[in-house]
Amino acid sequence: MKELLLENCRLDKRYDIFAQLGRGSYAEIFAARDILASPESPHRLVAIKALNVFLQDDLDPDLERTLVENFQNEAVALDRVRHPNVINRLGHGTARDSRGTLFHYLVLEYLEGGDLQKVCREGTLTLRQALRYIEQTCAGLGHAHRHGVIHRDIKPQNLLLTKDRETVKIADFGVARITSSDAPITRVGTNIYAAPEHSPLGTDGNVMVVPALTPAADIYSLAKSVYTLLTREAPRYCANQTITELPISARGEPWADDLKRVLARATSREPAHRHQTVEEFWQDLIAIRRFAEQGETPTVVRPNLPALPQPHVARGYSPIAPQSAQFDTTRELKLRHRYGPAFAAPAIELDRVRMPSVPAIAADRPPSAQPEVPVNGNNSQVRIEIPNAVHYTGEAKARNRSRFPGRFMVIALLIILFAGGLFITHSFLKNADLLPELPFAERAQMGRANTDINLRPEPNVNNQPIGLVTRNSKVRIVKTENNWYQVDVIEQGRQRNDAPSATRGWLNGRYVDLEEN
């Protein structure tokens, strides 16, 4: 087993890797600082997920190809289910570590709040907070299912939190299944959370045969995760089994019977007997949700709770995915230790720069020194002659240098005049509304208002409304900030003559149901 040597390295000339966050059976996670990002950017810190096939002791060409294909499948799944409550992919690439080992990597947003398993261990999670996290998880998971992706490893450790712990995001789509795939069902997941139809344990030693995976597999794992969040205990005693009882510590809670009923159905051994959609599972928790909203104080008016799980948008979310990730399979990944430990090969992104078959400059060599280039096994220096080159005399060089400042000033003046003309033209066309919409605007996220909501000039309620978005109005999301959307009103659900007439402004994201792209 060989770990990648990446700490204190700069990846792709922009990501300074400073710590390893974790390691799995086929990948390593590193924390990095994006030196090209603004200090105020929410993505100043990123996570680098690096595929390391050499973590497998019994690596063969077929296994290597499978690992690379799974890694690319994760990138495809993340782009397909782009959602405020799913971890965002920010980029990708192929590089060498400081030992010369070639690897593929994904750049993901760095979530500093930890995972929900850690929050459970801290013992500070209230019923209301837990349900808020469950709602966001349901929103992201339901979105994934509607886009044909089954996660297959839902568990508290894969539910990560933003730094302020207000937003939860589903992570680790490494074993996700695209439902259109006809590949055989593999045994993956975590024993105590995985559904019987794909659990590594099987069911009582017997393999459960199902014709195809359905969202019910994720609902099983989601129910086991809900068990952990609400009882603060892992469901170890019922691995691969239906939940029939709660821990002693939770049996006295007023919502215990309702929870046990919902979880028993959601963890049925037969997928057809479970909730068939995440939304159905969320609606079945209504009694517990109402109790959490009103507490133990009796109330005549029941709280008006939304039927569908609502997403929570954190700062930095964008519905637009980066360039699609394309990785090679087995051809070059076996070229580890090619140059030996004496050379510190810099990490180079191979989808833009072709990796040369020569060692890089050694770490102790001055930057101005040129490495020797091996030619046909020789270490002799190569002299490159340029045909038809013009050789200047010393007098000609001096005369050319004397003309340089004047030429530079003329070129600089022309550039300034050209840029000024472009700026004036752009300002005129913009003020006259003559600029066409850019092509990428067509890819912007669309949504519909689920109630009447005021349109505001800033992303807060401390200002006067400038417009009104009526129920079922169609809006285009222009920008996001915390849990607010800046929107363009494309079509009003109904007209109100007494309302302000502005068609662009800010509204709270909880009142917008995002549409599928």
Q: Which fold has domain 441-514?
A: SH3 type barrels. (2.30.30)
Task: List the end-to-end C-alpha distance of the chain, in Å, as a whole number.
Answer: 42
Residues 6 or more apart whose Cβ sits within 8 Å of residue 362: 342, 343, 344, 371
CATH topology of domain 116-294: Transferase(Phosphotransferase); domain 1 (1.10.510)
> Do residues 447 and 515 make contact, with C-beta atoms less than 8 angstroms apart?
yes
Q: What is the dihedral of CA 6, 16, 76, 85, to 10 degrees?
A: 120
Query: Beta 467-469 vs 27-34: how paired, if at all?
Result: unpaired
Rounded Cα distance between 193 and 151, Å, is: 12
At position 500, the amino acid (one-letter code) is P
- In the chain, domain spans: 116-294, 385-435, 441-514
Give the residue from 220, 226, 235, 202 showing the smallest Cα distance to 153.
220
Type of residue numbered 156: P
Q: In this structure, which amino acid lies at residue 417?
A: L
Cα dihedral 393/394/398/403 (nearest 10): 10
Positive or negative torsion for Cα 284, 285, 289, 290: positive
Neighbours of 367 (CB within 10 A): 5
- Cα 179 to Cα 85: distance, rounded to the nearest angstrom: 20
Q: Residue 53: how many CB atoms within 10 A of its CB?
A: 24
Q: What six digits make up the tokens of 183?
A: 């590949």
In a 10 Å sphere around its CB, with 0-12 CB exposed, 13-18 middle and 19+ buried, how is residue 192 labelled?
buried
CA nearest to 367, candidates 347, 349, 346 = 346
Q: What is the pTM of this model?
A: 0.64
* pLDDT at 430 (0 to 100): 67
Distance of CA 330 to the CA centre of its chain: 26
Query: Please, are residues 3 and 28 in contact by the beta-carbon 8 Å criterion?
Result: yes
Mean pLDDT, contiguous 10-residue spans, the chain (517 residues):
85 93 90 92 94 84 84 91 95 90 94 94 92 96 95 95 95 85 66 85 55 89 96 90 93 94 96 95 95 66 76 87 74 44 37 33 32 34 32 44 69 88 79 57 76 89 87 90 90 80 88 81
Structure tokens at 174: 């490494």
- Rg of the chain in Å (alpha carbons): 28
Provide φ and ψ at 10, rounded to 5°. Answer: -110, 120
* Ordered DSSP codes for 264-291: HHHT-SSGGGS-SSHHHHHHHTHHHHHH
Inter-axis angle of helices 286-294 and 127-146, nearest 10: 140
472 sits in which H/E element: none
Handedness of CA 287, 292, 298, 299 (dihedral sign): negative
> Helix 256-266 and helix 215-231: axis angle, to 10°?
150
Helix (H, G, I), strand (E, B) or coil at 308: coil
Question: pLDDT value at position 353?
Answer: 34
Nearest partner of 270 among 185, 210, 193, judged by Cα? 210
pLDDT of residue 225: 97
Q: Determine the pLDDT at residue 349.
A: 40
